[in-house]
Amino acid sequence: MRLEEYIKNRLADGRIGEDVGGIISQLADAAMVISKTIRLSGIEYDLGAETGAENSDGDEQKTLDVLAEDIIINHLKHTAASHILSEEQDDPITTGQDGQVMVAIDPLDGSSNIAVNVSVGTIFSLMPRQDAPIACAGRDQLAAGFFVYGPQTTLILAVASDQAPQCFILDDRKNSFVAVGGAVSIPTKTEEYAINAAYAEHWFPPVQEWMRQVLAGKQGAYGKAYRMRWVGSMVADAWRIFQRGGVFLYPGDKREGYTDGRLRLVYEANPISFLIEKAGGMATNGKDAILDLTPESLHQRTPLFFGATQEMTRLNTLHHNK
């Protein structure tokens, strides 16, 4: 099944409106352009180059961050999206369209990896339009997904009425995303975790205790040996978890500005958590489900733990008992 058919089926049975269908279709077209652009990186232009500017969160903006956002915004102009909430913009963009859907985007997650040929991606969240365009709670999203630009260009997507996410791979020959595999489901248990262990000295006690038991292997409280992966692009770690299970942790820590971690609620944690819960996993800030958090500002950060329910439950217990 091609993505076009996935959208057409949901339009036909009324599970999505024309606004949502049109936005998903245009995001897929934008992703195809971004994918092609990345492959020319270092030939046509130095995409990893810094623009000298910073985004609202103080991250150095790479050429591709800005280019990817431009490509996406230009495609969304052909849709009814009323507002665009972007990591690269201080404030929401009001498009003037009368549609009832807002789009939150991280145009290029992991952009520092471009210069070293490591997978990066685009994360998106579709939300009901609301007057003050600060986003809705994640549980009210209309659809969410992300693209990964790696050895393959892939997409994982779910709309609100889907029971599980669906994965797609871009078939360059047909200029179309083709569905692969069935309903995505994350195993409740895992031996594989993703965390940047370089920050261990800065972690708060609950995460330090969880890691202590994990690193204790069979002699630890969790009684098994684990293995670690850390790509430095959340979309790449997340894609792996949707394919073979695991957990991802970006906790808050004692570093200045990192009390709530690094990842942003509206356009990173919410869309990923929407997919995770639909795949039978859990996504939490250590205490509450991410999807139940009410955004107070566009770029607010949140500690983010997601994946296998057994490990998420352990982390929640450690945080509640601290």
Beta-carbon contacts of residue 150 (< 8 Å; ≥ 6 apart): 119, 120, 236, 239
The residue nearest ligand P6P at its CB is 234
Binding characters for ligand P6P, 152-191, by CB under 6 A (x = yes): ----------------------------------------
Examine residue 56 and tell whether it contacts ligand P6P (CB under 6 A): no
DSSP lists the bridge partners of residue 178 as 2, 169
Q: Binding residue for ligand P6P (CB under 6 A) from 26, 97, 190, 233? A: 233
The residue among 25 and 196 lying less far from ligand P6P, judged by its C-beta, is 196
Q: Binding residue for ligand P6P (CB under 6 A) from 10, 240, 262, 319? A: 262
Beta-carbon contacts of residue 223 (< 8 Å; ≥ 6 apart): none
Tokens of 164: 């599980």
Size of interface with ligand P6P, in residues (CB under 6 A): 9
* Helix %, strand %, coil % of the chain (to 5): 35, 25, 40
Place of tokens 């599970």: 15
Binders of ligand P6P in range 185-224 (CB under 6 A) = 196
d(CA 298, CA 92): 8
Examine residue 271 and tell whether it contacts ligand P6P (CB under 6 A): no
Give CA separation, 107 vs 85, 126, 242, in Å: 10, 14, 21
Write down the least CB distance from residue 118 to ligand P6P, Å.
10
**85: closest CA among 33, 141, 139?**
141
Examine residue 273 and tell whether it contacts ligand P6P (CB under 6 A): no
d(CA 62, CA 113): 10
Q: Binding residue for ligand P6P (CB under 6 A) from 103, 234, 265, 291? A: 234
Q: Binding residue for ligand P6P (CB under 6 A) from 48, 128, 220, 232? A: 232
Examine residue 145 and tell whether it contacts ligand P6P (CB under 6 A): no
d(CA 104, CA 64): 18
Burial tier of 286 (Cβ tally within 10 Å: 0-12, 13-18, 19+): buried
Q: Taking the chain, what is the end-to-end CA distance rounded to the nearest angstrom?
A: 48
Write down the least CB distance from residue 229 to ligand P6P, Å.
11
- Contact window for ligand P6P (CB under 6 A) among 95-103, 150-158, 232-240, 296-304: 232-240
- Contact window for ligand P6P (CB under 6 A) among 22-30, 65-73, 229-237, 270-278: 229-237
- Contact window for ligand P6P (CB under 6 A) among 10-18, 86-94, 226-234, 300-308: 226-234
Neighbours of 9 (CB within 10 A): 12
The residue among 6 and 250 lying less far from ligand P6P, judged by its C-beta, is 250
Tokens of 313: 């439950």
Binders of ligand P6P in range 109-128 (CB under 6 A) = 109-110, 112
Q: Give the residues lining the site for ligand P6P (CB under 6 A).
A: 109-110, 112, 196, 232-234, 262-263
